[in-house]
Each structure stands twice: as C-alpha cells, then as structure tokens.
Amino acid sequence: MKIRIKDNSVRLRLTMSEINKLGNVGEVDCRTEFINQPFVYRIVQTDTAQIIASFVENEIVIGLPTNMIKELVDTERIGFEGQSGPVKILVEKDFACLDNTMEDQSDNFPNPNLKC
C-alpha cells in the first residue's frame, strides 16, 4: 500500500492482493520503521456510511464502509474519496505505470490506459 500525504489530503493506493485482503479480512496495513518508533497506516472495514480517518499514536487509520470495500473487490470501481473533518481521503486501486519504473508492479492492477 502506498501513501501520499500533502497538506490536508491523504491518498492510499492498494495492490490487487491488498484489495483482496481488505475484502477477506476487513483490514490491511503497512508500516515504516523509523529509529524511535514505527509509522503505521491502516485501512479497516467499518459499519459507517462514510469514510472516516483518525491519527493516534503515530498511526493513521482510515475507516472504509463495508459497501465501498465490497465494490472495490467485486467491480471495476477504481476508488472512493471522502472527507473526514478537514482531511480529504482518497482510497484507490494501484495501477501499473505506463512508463519505465524500477518498482515491482507485478501485484498492481492492469492500467486501463494501456493500449494492447
């Protein structure tokens, strides 16, 4: 899972296996191990109607409603966006890049802009 933070905007991009795990387990997380303590970002399934976000003890938790998770897993839907207080949240599928990259993209979704 990739995270991008800019001002009051948080964007999370998930690979195919992460979307499947979110659908099957109801949670997916990643961590960055800093010297003094880890930074964790997590998406959890919620029974809420909207996307919610919190930041507690160096952990960003995004609550994604069950129906949104089901739609990400079962359809071609690319993602969802919402607002949690002043923070804009975007959760989306991670597509393979069209340009050359050194990053392993074997678990990314096929890019819909790729012309075969």
In this prediction the pTM is 0.83
Range 97-106 average pLDDT: 60
Phi, psi (deg, nearest 5) at residue 108: -80, 160
pLDDT computed for residue 31 by the predictor: 95
pLDDT digits (tens, 9 = 90+) for 28-79: 999 999 999 999 999 999 999 999 999 998 899 999 999 999 999 999 898 9
Q: Which fold has domain 2-93?
A: Gyrase A; domain 2 (3.30.1360)
Query: With bands split at pLDDT 50, 70 and 90, how would you rate the model's confidence at 8?
Result: very high
Contact present, 55 and 42 (Cβ < 8 Å): no
Residues in Cβ contact with 106 at an 8 Å cutoff, skipping those fewer than 6 apart: none
**pLDDT tens, position by position, 47-56:** 999 999 999 9
Q: Where are the domains of the chain?
A: 2-93
Please give the pLDDT value at position 109. Answer: 55
Q: Kindly list the strands in the beta sheet with 2-6, ordered across the sheet, starting from the edge strand earlier in the chain.
A: 2-6, 9-14, 87-93, 79-84
